[in-house]
Amino acid sequence: MRVVTFEKEGSGSRIGLIHGDKIADLRAAFEKALAEGKAVPAGRAKDSADQQIPGSMIDLIRRGDDGIACVKQAYEFLHRAEEKRLASSPGGEKIIYEKDEVRIIKPLEVFRALNVGANYNAYLAMMKIVEPYEGTTETFWVLPQTVIGPEEEIKWPVSSQQVSCEMELGVIIGKKTKRVSKDKALDCVFGYTVVNDVTAIDLIKRGLGEGREGLPGFFYLCLAKSFDTFQPIGPCITLKDEIPDPQNLQAEYRVNGEMKVKGDTSDMRLKVNEIIEFISQDITLYPGDLIATGAMATKEYAPQVNVRVGDKIEMEIEKIGVLRNRVAD
């Protein structure tokens, strides 16, 4: 099951389900499922759906297992129902949309964004980085306001002349979590998405001058990664049940149609469950938090790819989809 947030003309954002090459309105599909399954009287199906399916992804995530159960019920109905039964809900809402009828936006308003660095063995070898201590990894915060969605433009900054993009697996937290063991860490995951980690590389290399303390460029990492539009995510969130093993995903990163990077999540130093265990020791994780798990690379392909204005970027991770963005002035 892959969920999206979409907009249609004349209305606000809604939660959708990817249904083949189309988008299904989750609330309308759930309403129809309730009515046809006679879970509630037909006249009350709309009110019941309105109560159980919120308007935003973050609110759906906060509903926990109850929210996921509603998604599953709608998904199962969509896949067993004849097409003619999917025209509209009892309340008159259209259920199925062609993709060109709607605009898919960022999957959710991220609560907090935490990025992981130096977490792929190939990345460490290629970038000649000293491996962090066992059980730990590099982490840094990115402003959640930096996050944009698919097809949105990455804006070229005025304070940088060298911008790169890295492809990462994103983890969406689904439950409040503190000091969880790696054996239970995946229980707190809602789903997975694609993350484009954009960086003003030259800002990190040169820093901002010697300054009073002579800080090296690394101290400007958060700034260089938190410029407006520097963290695209999407196009959807694949629920965790569809990806029981997040360490078995293939990925590809293309610029203007040319393949630049291949990735394999089996190469992570700290696996997804170990990352969650490490971070949650002294930081409480909340529903809607985003963890980007590190730049993918292989021995043949460097993780960082410099981009220019006009470049069309595609990042594709197996079982999730393709995140597309364009670099613009």
Q: Where in the chain is the domain with CATH 3.90.850.10?
A: 113-328
For residue 292, report the phi and psi dihedrals to the nearest 5 degrees: -90, 125
Provide Rg for the chain, Cα atoms.
Answer: 21
How does strand 305-307 pair with strand 138-142? Answer: unpaired
CATH assignment of 113-328?
A: 3.90.850.10
| Cis peptide bond upstream of 90, omega within 30 | no
Between CA 64 and CA 52 the distance in angstroms is 12
Residue with tokens 């997804």: 272
Q: Could you read off the pLDDT tens digit of each residue along the chain, which spans 329 residues?
A: 999 999 988 788 999 999 999 999 999 999 999 998 877 877 889 999 999 999 999 999 999 999 999 999 999 999 888 877 788 998 889 999 999 999 999 999 999 999 999 899 988 888 788 888 888 998 999 999 999 999 999 999 999 999 999 999 999 999 999 999 999 999 999 999 999 999 999 888 776 555 545 556 666 788 899 999 999 999 999 999 999 999 999 999 999 999 999 999 999 999 999 999 999 999 999 999 999 999 998 777 778 899 999 999 999 999 999 999 999 99
pTM, to two decimals: 0.94
Between CA 172 and CA 192 the distance in angstroms is 6
Amino acid at 311: D
Q: Residue 185 in 3-state DSSP?
A: helix
CA 232 to chain centre: 8
